[in-house]
Amino acid sequence: MNRTESDRLFAEALKYIPGGVNSPVRAFRAVGGNPFFVNRASGSKVWDVDGNELIDYVLTWGPAILGHAHPKIIAAVKAAAELGTSFGIPNPLEVTMAKLICELVPSVQKVRMTSSGTEACMSAIRLARGFTRRDKIIKFDGCYHGHADSLLVRAGSGALTFGQPDSAGVPAAFTSHTIVMPYNDFEAVTAVFTANKDQIAGIIVEPVPGNAGLYLPKPGYLEFLREITAAHGALLIFDEVMTGFRLARGGAQERFHITPDLSCFGKVIGGGLPVGAFGGRAEIMDYLAPLGPVYQAGTLSGNPLAMAAGLANLQELCSRACESAENPRSHERGYDVYELLEARGAQLAAGMRDAAKSAGVPMQFNQCGSMFCGYFTDQPVHNVAEAMRSDREKFKKFFHGMLAAGVYLAPSQFEAGFLSTAHTAADIEKTVSAAAKVLRTL
């Protein structure tokens, strides 16, 4: 596969951008080689600057649930841009977006927009602390909630150990009130609440973690988190930046029938433009300025372009009928968006598991709706420690083999993959066929 122009651009980018990229995972450091540069995307495909066509399972890291360059989103952004790209003054689209989110997610009575998922999670943590008048927050090893200082922390040596910063430039004092637990561990969370009576402001969790690959909550785990936070007067915060409106119209909380106190959103609600949001019970949200003492602000929050793109995305998802890529008139028969995504996810998972088995390669292929990840291990993966058992050298070879076959997966073992309504059965068949060939070479 020719990548002459991508290599030239990367060499130039290295002169002006740290590492040549504006987000670390794009640098391909985890898999080796140089990243490629894209200048066009449509449906399930992207085309790089050298003209190579790829089936895309990264989908701008999740937002493109309807595929790239969906015509309704493009039209909405064009119409909004003609009226002005930003105002810094309330605009009607903000109200429409807030109302729609509250309608789709019953746990959210009020919501505030931000410009990123990082801002949403950071603000939700501040709000939880302000509302409860407590300082300590529980998070889980392997769950990523953005790069805010207090959340860039990993687990220490024991279940009750306070975390140390994951990044240079973050003082230890900033993370001293963040306690990190292994995901899917019931006893560890119970022990923390016992040892920190009346000190825990809340738990923040990805209900389906997608930043260490993808693994699912064990039966009863999310229910347990709901019960223990309620029993101790702490808040349960669902980080649904990735899962929100992707695993169901109401997100993971609808799929698993859990009602958190606060929820964070992003990705899908921006239709590919920078966006975030956090919301929850009205009594909690009303602690935000200008009504309450918890300050949060953002110049571009509720930006009309992001609101227009996000509304077009959500409204298409809300229509309960969509066009499948194979049949442009399938919406006339009421083909449900999420039924289609579930079917595509199941098809991919079954095909990949069969391909790995036939090749004699140990693989755990975790899948939840339109999210997935394959780990090169013969043991189940329920948390980040188990994810780390995956053979990363095998993953590197698999990644580059798939890329050479025209299939783009996330360039890291520890990232989730995504499907869209634009992915066809033929796309998945091609992907599985390519995987079967690559796996036999590992």
Whole-number Å distance between alpha carbons of 115 and 207: 22
Whole-number Å distance between alpha carbons of 375 and 383: 12
Three-state DSSP state, 382: coil
Q: Residue 375 corresponds to which tokens in the numbers above?
A: 């780990």
Q: CB-based burial of residue 156 (10 Å sphere; 0-12 exposed, 13-18 middle, 19+ buried)?
A: middle
Whole-number Å distance between alpha carbons of 68 and 76: 14
- Please choose, from the candidates 371, 394, 406, the residue with its C-alpha nearest in 3D space to the C-alpha of residue 244: 371
The answer, yes or no, to whether the previous bond of 362 is cis (omega within 30 of 0) is: no
- At a CB cut-off of 8 Å and minimum separation 6, what does 307 contact? 80, 91, 93, 94, 96, 97, 113
Residue with token string 């239709």? 271
Whole-number Å distance between alpha carbons of 238 and 251: 10
- Please choose, from the candidates 380, 430, 383, the residue with its C-alpha nearest in 3D space to the C-alpha of residue 407: 430
- At a CB cut-off of 8 Å and minimum separation 6, what does 38 contact? 46, 47, 48, 49
- At a CB cut-off of 8 Å and minimum separation 6, what does 313 contact? 63, 65, 66, 70, 73, 268, 269, 270, 271
What residues act catalytically? Answer: 144, 239, 267
- At a CB cut-off of 8 Å and minimum separation 6, what does 92 contact? none
Whole-number Å distance between alpha carbons of 29 and 24: 8
Report the DSSP beta bridge partners of residue 233.
none
